[in-house]
Amino acid sequence: MLYRKASLFFREKFNAKVYRVAVDAGFTCPNRDGTLARGGCIFCDEEGARASYVNPHIPIREQVLSGIEKLRESYGAEKFIVYFQAYSNTYAPLERLKELYGEGLSASKNIVGISISTRPDLVSNSVLDVLSELQEKYFVMLELGVQSFNYRVLRKSRRFHLPSDSIDAILRAKKRGLHVIAHMIFGLFDELEPEIIDGGRILSLLGVDGIKIHNLYVVKGTDLEKLYERGKIKVYENPEEYAQLVVRFLENIRPDMVIHRLQGFASKRRLRAPLWTSDKHIIPNLVEKIMKEKGTFQGKFYRYRD
């Protein structure tokens, strides 16, 4: 095994082809509504990382059902995980969260789990307890936008949370047995490669179960685009260079960590740079090729063992 792919993890766990079905429950986020800031994180566009097929103006149940239909037709998906993806999906009163999560989960008998994407500073113990209770019937994943463990990088990215917020959220979620997935962005400002790779070791040591790796990419109309045009930020223009970094990262994390994603994705319509980000397969293919050529595998250089 080169690395632990999420598709195989789900196949082993559910003995079926499992896909996430994304919904937009109409949440906002404290980085947009003025609570922490306005304008959002520097890399976030108005669409708030929403899947292109999602329409936030229709009820959750309908979003789930139409998403399931599309995933069945396109990929032969058999079981589903409701994915509360856009913006911060724990950012509402507790009773409202319970209602929304319940609506998504009850939409189809083929739903086996739920995945909640949010900021590390938006997971109170009460929210975690709600998610923990759902584990009696469902597989529950908590996706945290950690992005970096570097204070300077987080501040320049206008995240307005600290590395310690991420550590705190991960530890409390792990205490409740949730499947924790960290989102990391490679290439934020001038974060050095050893810092990026050490982030993977930190996630490993904290017991994080899975990871979604994104390359920094520039979406049209964002402040990041202005910085890019002025030559103030760089992105991995060469996919090979980024894939090499991903391989070194994989070599340094726990071998059992589930790899849910290796690159970011944006449609050609929205994307400014790097243009290869509109091809979802380019990095998985390159990573596989490089790993085979190097004879390497996930966790090869992970030194911390129980």
Residues lying near ligand SF4 in the complex (CB under 6 A) are found at: 29, 31-32, 40-41, 44, 48, 87-88, 119, 145
Q: Which one, of 61, 133, 132, lies nearest residue 100 by Cα?
A: 61
Q: At closest approach, how far in Å is the CB of 217 from ligand SF4?
A: 13
| 41-to-45, 76, 230 alpha-carbon distances in Å | 8, 35, 19
Ramachandran angles phi, psi of 5, nearest 5°: -75, 140
Q: At closest approach, how far in Å is the CB of 191 from ligand SF4?
A: 17
Q: At closest approach, how far in Å is the CB of 214 from ligand SF4?
A: 11
> Residues 69, 70, 73, 75: is their CA dihedral positive or negative?
negative
CB 26 within 8 A of CB 97: no
Residue partners of 100: CB distance under 8 A and separation at least 6: 25, 60, 84, 92
| Residue with smaller CB distance to ligand SF4, 143 or 209 | 143
Q: At closest approach, how far in Å is the CB of 48 from ligand SF4?
A: 4
Q: At closest approach, how far in Å is the CB of 61 from ligand SF4?
A: 23
Q: At closest approach, how far in Å is the CB of 210 from ligand SF4?
A: 18
Helix (H, G, I), strand (E, B) or coil at 233: coil
| Residue with smaller CB distance to ligand SF4, 87 or 139 | 87
| Residue with smaller CB distance to ligand SF4, 248 or 270 | 270
| 16-to-73, 106, 223 alpha-carbon distances in Å | 16, 19, 42
Q: At closest approach, how far in Å is the CB of 240 from ligand SF4?
A: 27
| Residue with smaller CB distance to ligand SF4, 2 or 51 | 51
| Residue with smaller CB distance to ligand SF4, 27 or 242 | 27
CB 51 within 8 A of CB 85: yes
Ramachandran angles phi, psi of 252, nearest 5°: -110, 10
| Residue with smaller CB distance to ligand SF4, 43 or 80 | 43
| Residue with smaller CB distance to ligand SF4, 41 or 131 | 41
Ramachandran angles phi, psi of 103, nearest 5°: -60, -40
Q: Two tokens at 29? A: 């986020």
> Residues 296, 297, 303, 305: is their CA dihedral positive or negative?
negative
Ramachandran angles phi, psi of 263, nearest 5°: -155, 165
Rounded CA-CA distance 266/273 in Å is 10
| Residue with smaller CB distance to ligand SF4, 145 or 199 | 145
Q: At closest approach, how far in Å is the CB of 80 from ligand SF4?
A: 23
